[in-house]
């Protein structure tokens, strides 16, 4: 399994944890973490595409 796919799975898990928790602060943190994971995955994917173009 690729790195990008693993990071995206972590984002899904973080969102699920945010939905399950009763604490609003923790839910917000988990949502932010999921967004960060997705941004990281997108960045890695873009870098791979740039390397292939060269």
Domain that holds residue 38: 3-53
**How many other C-beta atoms are found inside a 10 Å radius of the C-beta of residue 3?**
12
- Predicted confidence band of residue 15 (pLDDT cuts 50, 70, 90): very high
In this predicted model, what pLDDT tens digit does every residue of 24-52 receive, in sequence order?
Answer: 999 999 999 999 999 999 999 999 888 88
pTM of the model: 0.85
**Residue 24 class from Cβ within 10 Å (0-12 exposed, 13-18 middle, 19+ buried)?**
exposed
The count of structural domains within the chain is: 1
pLDDT category, 10, cuts 50, 70, 90?
A: very high
């Amino acid at each position: 399994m690729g790195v990008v796919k693993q990071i995206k799975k972590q984002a899904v898990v973080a969102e699920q944890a945010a939905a399950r928790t009763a604490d609003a602060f923790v839910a917000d943190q988990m949502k932010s973490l999921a967004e960060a994971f997705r941004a990281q995955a997108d960045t890695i994917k873009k870098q791979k595409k740039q390397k292939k173009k060269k």
